[in-house]
Amino acid sequence: MAIRVLEAEVAGMIAAGEVVERPSSVVKELLENSLDAGATRIDVTTTGGGVESIVVSDNGVGIPEVDVPLVFQQFATSKISRSEDLNSINTLGFRGEAMYSISAVSKVELITRTVDEKVGVNINILEGNVGVISPAAANVGTKVTVLNLFTNFPARKKFLRSQKAEAGRIATLVKRYSMIWPKISFSLSQEGTRFFSTTGSGSFRDVIATIYGAETSKGMILIDRQGIDPEYSGPILGGIIGSPSQTRANRSHINIFVNGRYVQNRTLSYAFEQAYHGLVGHRRFPIGVLDLRLPGEDVDVNVHPAKTEVRFLNESEVFGVVQSTVRDSLLSSSPVQGVSSVSAGNSATLDQATGRYDFSPWQVRLGAGSANKPNVQSVVNATNSMMVTESNLSRINDVSDEPSAGGNVRSTLPMLRILGQAQSTYIAAEGPDGIYLIDQHAAHERVVFEEVIEKAKNSSPAFQTLLEPFVINLDPSQISMIEENDPLFAALGMKLEQFGPETYLIRTVPAVLSQSNPAKALIDVLDSLENGAVFETWEEKAAYSVSCHGAIRAGQSLSVVEMETLVRQLESCQNPNTCPHGRPTLIHLSSKHLEIEFGRR
């Protein structure tokens, strides 16, 4: 084939392919334009999950009439002009591609007016063809209407998810932007209903209350930016973070912003999680809105057309600032200060809101059930010693010359004699060949996981009917997940019933969760359905989060009978050696290992 320059229409679709992945990408670009225009009020309205229509109107500076035809040209921007400007970008947009890309794959109407003009202008663009400009009555600001997204781009349209799922993504996005721009009043209406709106009061707590509820907001910790040397010009972290008791089952509530731009960045997310090390349980993730500010020349945002990736000039400095600021905020807000003074009898987590320790609602579900609660110190110790154990484990593996269990061969546990419990976390047992240390939480997770899967497969879930149904508010993406997986929830033993447009009733819960908070458990199941990539089937994803909630914790004292019950159950598991997430449930110190460690007797 001869080389030819692509027609504008095809070029537009290629550009759109990178910038406009789905309806929420359109909303993102339009929001960023409104923010760059200095708006203090931004209203977003969508129908058909954004595919039918997206309207974003703002009270920003507007676009001068003479510039209006340029808006839809590729690489037309008012934000940078010289190559040097790319070294220090202080606006959200700069590529001059978004309006061009959006208009290539939809029908766009733009109405705008600047403060210097008496009347506004209106312009229509259909699949990249710019129409005539006509006068229009308008307030100062800009209103962009995007209709019939991807109608001319079926290759992209077929990858979209259900209307509700796309609407859910838009909601998540608008919420994110409202969280980081608390001084701006945002509103979102979907399918004719007002979804939420923020006041623009400027307070992180207020926006968080609108989005996550007053309870959550109250429990969160504001990062204090006072006391920073005015001469200091490095990265500064602000925002609001969850207390160690406000964790979720995945990372989707870690919202990271760099100079006001939402980004996905593993370094920052890891630094944030590291700050909670030892304070939150395994596979639990903190929540927060991280507002990182640094000089524009220290960060490169020109990595990808969607601009959600950034590169830092000094990554380790940024890592350090995030980790230490978050850690300091956690320490100075008391949950950890209290660690050593907490008396036994309290459970591991301090509820920031009430200032009380959160007495986990579950009880041991093995046999009689001891109600002894661990103290915080023992949990912290447990986490530390877990690390030591892990390194020991690798040392043991290094010297091991035993043939491995080989592929998928089922490895069963021999009959074990319980020796006792260590650190309220590990069960020590003796077998025919050496000593076993069993992580009680991981082991119980495995037991519960297999039980739940088995029952779900036979459609005979063990469930418990709640005396009073539990009311829970869900967002559209969560609702569509429930609708799409109705049979799954039934098979798990969770009976859900729609109660209002955004509310559901939880009528029954899986029996293993009878002592947990049903709303928390449901939200975790939904989170892991969305993100639990480790598992292949949805049943497994759901069963994992159920087992995690239903399992006994590290730090829980167990009676001998309870330990025996657990070990017997583990013996009959299909896969007793790892927890559903692949971590070991036990360490086996064979006689040979012991001989190597201690020398032959």
Shortest Å distance, C-beta 577 to Mg ion? 52
Q: Please state the φ and ψ torsions of residue 21, each to the nearest 5 degrees.
A: -80, -35
Q: What single-letter amino acid sits at 135?
A: P
If the CB atoms of residues 114 and 400 are measured against ligand ADP, the closer one turns out to be 114
Residue 433 has a CB neighbour count (10 Å cut-off) of 14
CA–CA gap between residue 427 and residue 429 (Å, rounded):
6
If the CB atoms of residues 94 and 285 are measured against ligand ADP, the closer one turns out to be 94
Q: What is the DSSP string of 329-391?
A: HHHHTSTTTTGGGPPBTB-SEEETTTTEEE--S----STT-------HHHHHHHHHHHHHHHH
Per rule CB under 5 A, is residue 144 in the interface with Mg ion? no
Strands (E) across 513-595 are located at 586-589
If the CB atoms of residues 145 and 247 are measured against Mg ion, the closer one turns out to be 145
Reference 374, options 556, 168, 238, 577; nearest CA is 556
Contact yes or no for 147/106 (Cβ under 8 A): yes
Please select the residue that binds ligand ADP; options are 25, 45, 77, 565, rule is CB under 6 A. 77
**Residue 94 interacts with which of ligand ADP, Mg ion, none, CB < 5 to 8 Å by class:** ligand ADP
Per rule CB under 5 A, is residue 68 in the interface with Mg ion? no
Coil, strand or helix: which one is 588?
strand
Site string for ligand ADP, 81-120 (x = CB under 6 A): ------------xxxxxxxx--------------------
Residues 6+ apart with CB under 8 A from 458: none
Maximum C-alpha span of the chain: 97
**Residue 290 interacts with which of Mg ion, ligand ADP, none, CB < 5 to 8 Å by class:** none
**Residue 524 interacts with which of Mg ion, ligand ADP, none, CB < 5 to 8 Å by class:** none
Q: Please state the φ and ψ torsions of residue 41, each to the nearest 5 degrees.
A: -145, 125
Residues 6+ apart with CB under 8 A from 142: 33, 34, 37, 57, 58, 60, 62, 63, 110, 111, 112
Site string for ligand ADP, 523-562 (x = CB under 6 A): ----------------------------------------
Shortest Å distance, C-beta 162 to ligand ADP? 28
Site string for ligand ADP, 140-159 (x = CB under 6 A): --x-----------------
Per rule CB under 5 A, is residue 93 in the interface with Mg ion? yes
Interface segment toward Mg ion; rule CB under 5 A; list 87-95, 236-244, 496-504, 564-572: 87-95
Per rule CB under 6 A, is residue 128 in the interface with ligand ADP? no
Shortest Å distance, C-beta 89 to Mg ion? 12
Per rule CB under 5 A, is residue 33 in the interface with Mg ion? yes
Per the document, the length of the chain is 601
| Position with the least CB separation from Mg ion | 93
Contact yes or no for 249/530 (Cβ under 8 A): no
CA–CA gap between residue 371 and residue 558 (Å, rounded):
9
* Residues of span 17-76 touching ligand ADP by CB under 6 A: 29, 33-34, 37, 58, 60-63, 71, 76
Shortest Å distance, C-beta 276 to ligand ADP? 36
Paired strand residues for 497: 505
Please select the residue that binds Mg ion; options are 98, 121, 339, 558, rule is CB under 5 A. 98
Q: What single-letter amino acid sits at 109?
A: E
Coil, strand or helix: which one is 42?
strand
Residues lying near ligand ADP in the complex (CB under 6 A): 29, 33-34, 37, 58, 60-63, 71, 76-79, 93-100, 142
Residues lying near Mg ion in the complex (CB under 5 A): 33, 93, 98
